[in-house]
Amino acid sequence: MKKIVLVIISLLLMVGLFVGCTKSEEVEVQVNVSENVSVPVADVPVPAEEKPVACPVDAKVCPDGSSVGRIAPDCEFAVCPEVVVEPIPTVDQPAVSINKIHLVEVINETFSPSTLTIKIGDTVTWKNMRDGYYGKVMIVGSRECRTIRSGILEKGQTFSYTFNQTDSCIITDGFIIHTKPQTVNVVE
């Protein structure tokens, strides 16, 4: 019998605690200024001068694209972040030039093409395409272009040179002297 009484008393205490903890009051909350919504709030003892304030749940879009909501107790919008406009620096840059690579084939007793007009910074690559007994080539620049000089090139081998100033160069074959010379005109 004592056990039954203890169980009943325990159950009554638990029911009383449960009912006391779930007691709630209704607070008016204004949403989007035109709707009123009732929201249950836990029954927490709050002194009269510190009653919670429910502000409208609308937002303000700031000049920087962010948004801010209202802040209690006056329900005024929060201050938007300051917009700092920094000028975009401009840099005067010369036009970008794209340097090209020009292929010249050395075929038997001629350069192909025999005349070439290029721009400063362009590269000319000579490729030995000769067959037979005189299959070797040596690229040689004359006069102002005397710094252009390859070693002996076997068939399929190449030699490249980048032109860095305006000039008109005569290119010859240092291996077979009767090869028709090539003219390379370098312009700006």
Domain-by-domain residue ranges, the chain? 25-81, 101-187
Which CATH homologous superfamily contains domain 101-187? Cupredoxins -  blue copper proteins (2.60.40.420)
Most confident of 1-15, 93-107, 147-161, 166-180: 147-161
Phi, psi of 49 (to 5 degrees): -75, -10
Enter the pTM of the model.
0.49
pLDDT of residue 30: 46
Give pLDDT tens digits for 29-51: 444 444 444 545 555 555 556 67
- Taking alpha carbons only, the member of 141, 138, 149 closest to residue 170 is 141
**Residue ranges of E strands in the chain:** 24-31, 35-42, 59-61, 67-71, 76-77, 101-107, 110-112, 115-119, 123-128, 139-141, 158-162, 167-173, 182-187
Rounded distance, CA 68 to CA 79, Å? 7
What percent of the chain is helix, strand and coil (3-state, nearest 5)?
15, 40, 50
Rounded distance, CA 188 to CA 172, Å? 24
The answer to whether 98 and 123 have CB atoms below 8 angstroms apart is: no
Q: What is the mean pLDDT of residues 103-115?
A: 89
Question: Is the pLDDT reported for residue 181 higher than 50?
Answer: yes
Question: Is the pLDDT reported for residue 137 higher than 80?
Answer: yes
